[in-house]
Chain A
Amino acid sequence: MKMSIREAINQTLHQEMARDERVIVLGEDVASDQGGVYGITEGLPAQFGVHRVIDTPITESAIVGAAGGAALTGLRPVAELMFVDFLGVCLDQILNQIAKFRYMFGGQARTPLVIRTMIGAGTGTGPQHSQILYPLLAAIPGIKVVTPANAADAKGLLTTAIRDDDPVIFCEHKALYMDECEVPEGEYLLPFGQARTAVQGSDITIVGMSRTAVIAEQAAAQLAQKGVSAEVIDLRTLSPLDESTILESLAKTGRLVVVDESNPYCSMASEIAGLAAEQGFDTLDAPVKRITSPHTPVPATPCLEADYVPSVERVMAAVEETLSY
């Protein structure tokens, strides 16, 4: 059935709440009639009641921390951190508490928690509502970071996230919510740590994640018309990271462009370039190219924001440069 990412997430939440009564949803506005800013939780309170779909005050440390404490003691909460930018007011609970429970308690703890959060630029929401921040999260041992790029993956990965016994941060790109594709009916799970080869190719490897996977696919389609065979890899999960799919593709193509909406320093693009340098050096026929956002905040004005995010044109130019090296 064809549906949007928004609908796929909504359907998955319905399915998992019906399947397991330990699954609860909590966050700001999640129990409102509108189902939050983008209607993601629409219909849940009517079906499952406000004792399982819980509106909270606007207090992110308490939302995330309580979700962590509830997970530690037997529930399977899905907490909503409305925008990932709000990590700024609850990082301690993620960084020092939730991510470390299992390790610092010597394996006693089980923290089956999902934090759903909106990421990304492209909708004119400016510096404090548009960031990516997933590299910051992927750098923390003890949590997993998931970045679906289409509706089918959103369903498969969210189902896995909710059933996973480790804490998972599920990043939803706000510019992709209305993107539609075919989504499998019924129960659908995708494993973590397995990237998707979105397009098969032989001349060059383009790695993307979340929205940049979509951009990479669009670039590949245009490159195909120019006779360039690009292979596109959508990482799906950043932690765990599917290194072997990247390295295998690189071994085949010899050339690598990584497209990442992060700021450039310590980005996922940097991580993957490092991987290629360390473990794929012999297979490289050209330097790795990193296409990222600049080392600036996200501007609110659409004319500058358009230049901030990686574009199909920038990917095309990077591919051409890499191929002509």
Chain B
Amino acid sequence: MQQSQIALEKLHDAYRLMKTIREFEERMRSEYQQGKLPGFIHIYRNQEAVAVAACLDMTNEDYIASTHRGHGHCIAKGCEIEAMLLELACKEDGLCNGKGGSMHIADMSKGMLGANAIVGGGPPIAAGAALTAKTLNNGAVSMAFIGDGASDQGTVAESLNLAVVLQLPMIFMYENNRYAEFTKSPKPDGRIAERAGAFGMPAEVVDGSDFFAMYDACQRAITRGREGGGPTAIEAVCNRYYGHFEGDPQAYRDQDELAQERAVSDPIPRFLADPRAAALSAESIAEIDAAILAEIDRGFEVTYAAADPTPDKLYTDVYIHYEGRLR
């Protein structure tokens, strides 16, 4: 496989985004455990290389449809940390005015078409975004993030088929973290890509902890989509560090195995140890780390001082225009 060289600026971005996701979510966990954040949150730790490699070459005109484990996808697609935090805390000035929260967060200005609390809900929507790109012939691509659990949903099969039939500029980004909620996947690694490939599209299995391998695969898929070559599937094999949702003790996992998987599947030290990241200096890493922590601190400060939505917001944005009664 051809290994692309990555410009220094992109290396910085890749590191910054992966590390931002990591620090953002670790801080989220800690605040959540103190009861300061509402709802359910699903942590993405150790899968950061997938989202960042997937979105690094995308622009705001490209689309992603995310999952319930979507914070990493948002950050990788360029969502602002403060606006995200305000949303995750369900504040008035959040990305979705507090009405979406963690599992429905979206940022249309960034082409982020929403996290999705319905497993398998996103791929048909991503196919529609790809249909827009194809119809307007604007060179944009659309990506659906799909868990290994979601890979069994009928909506995913329907979307794979539609993408092949209509030759849509779409990427099926499977994140195989080997656990569908509490249940270990009965499928061997690679079976998901095999299934996608059977629909008639290029499909490959990639080590999801290896940023550079992921980036190469994503570049191939995105280029294919932009050039009218149709859809691609990538099965990124990775490890889910924490439970299905925050607070899930993972009693169903073998603890020794979990500890070992956690150690070998952390994409960040692996990224830094890769010869292709050699241009990244220790000084710049320290600078980036400090900036990330400062941004997150600032975000939480703003969030905890922010206002809740006013009661009238219950009734707004149901429709753009409605000549009827909402209450």
B-contacting residues of A (Cβ < 8 Å)?
24, 26, 51-52, 54, 56-57, 59, 61-75, 77, 92-93, 96-97, 100-110, 141-142, 144, 164-166, 191-194, 239-243
Q: State the Cβ distance, A289 to closest chain B Cβ, in Å.
A: 24
On whether the beta carbons of A106 and B95 are closer than 8 Å, the reply is yes
Interface residues of B in 3-30 (CB under 8 A from A): none
- A75 to B324: give the CA distance in the assembly, Å: 26
User: Total interface residues on B, using CB and 8 Å?
Assistant: 55
**24 pairs of residues in contact across A and B, judged by CB atoms under 8 Å:** A26-B131, A51-B135, A54-B131, A57-B165, A61-B158, A62-B159, A65-B125, A65-B128, A65-B155, A66-B128, A69-B130, A73-B63, A75-B136, A93-B155, A103-B318, A104-B114, A105-B96, A105-B99, A106-B96, A108-B96, A108-B107, A108-B108, A142-B319, A243-B324
Which one of B87, B131, B321 contacts A70 once the chains associate, using CB atoms below 8 Å?
B131
Supplied contacts A57-B165, A193-B324, 14 more A-B pairs, CB within 8 Å: A51-B134, A54-B166, A61-B124, A62-B127, A66-B124, A69-B65, A73-B63, A73-B129, A92-B121, A93-B125, A106-B95, A106-B96, A166-B320, A240-B323
Least CB separation from A191: chain B residue: B323
| 7 closest Cβ pairs, A-B complex | A69-B128, A65-B124, A240-B324, A193-B323, A106-B97, A106-B96, A69-B125
Least CB separation from B118: chain A residue: A96
Least CB separation from A165: chain B residue: B320
Which one of B131, B155, B320 contacts A92 once the chains associate, using CB atoms below 8 Å?
B155
On whether the beta carbons of B158 and A62 are closer than 8 Å, the reply is yes
- A66 to B162: give the CA distance in the assembly, Å: 9
- B128: which A residues are within 8 A, CB to CB? 65-73, 77
Least CB separation from B100: chain A residue: A104
Instruction: Confirm or deny: B169 has a beta carbon within 8 angstroms of a beta carbon on chain A.
Output: no
Instruction: Confirm or deny: B231 has a beta carbon within 8 angstroms of a beta carbon on chain A.
Output: no
Instruction: Confirm or deny: B256 has a beta carbon within 8 angstroms of a beta carbon on chain A.
Output: no
On whether the beta carbons of B320 and A69 are closer than 8 Å, the reply is no
- A164 to B319: give the CA distance in the assembly, Å: 10
Q: State the Cβ distance, B87 to closest chain A Cβ, in Å.
A: 8
- A37 to B97: give the CA distance in the assembly, Å: 44
Instruction: Confirm or deny: B317 has a beta carbon within 8 angstroms of a beta carbon on chain A.
Output: yes
- A75 to B134: give the CA distance in the assembly, Å: 11
- B96: which A residues are within 8 A, CB to CB? 104-106, 108
- A108 to B133: give the CA distance in the assembly, Å: 19
On whether the beta carbons of B127 and A194 are closer than 8 Å, the reply is no
- B116: which A residues are within 8 A, CB to CB? 97
On whether the beta carbons of B324 and A142 are closer than 8 Å, the reply is no
On whether the beta carbons of A104 and B320 are closer than 8 Å, the reply is no
- A243 to B325: give the CA distance in the assembly, Å: 9
On whether the beta carbons of B321 and A109 are closer than 8 Å, the reply is no
Interface residues of B in 304-327 (CB under 8 A from A): 316-326
A69-B124, A73-B132 known; A240 vs B322 contact (CB < 8 Å): yes
Q: Mark B121-153, 1 if CB is under 8 A from A, else 0.
A: 101111111111111100000100000000000
Instruction: Confirm or deny: B94 has a beta carbon within 8 angstroms of a beta carbon on chain A.
Output: yes
On whether the beta carbons of B104 and A105 are closer than 8 Å, the reply is yes
- A102: which B residues are within 8 A, CB to CB? 317-320
Q: State the Cβ distance, A113 to closest chain B Cβ, in Å.
A: 9
Q: State the Cβ distance, B224 to closest chain A Cβ, in Å.
A: 20
- A165 to B323: give the CA distance in the assembly, Å: 14
Which one of A59, A77, A106 contacts B161 once the chains associate, using CB atoms below 8 Å?
A59
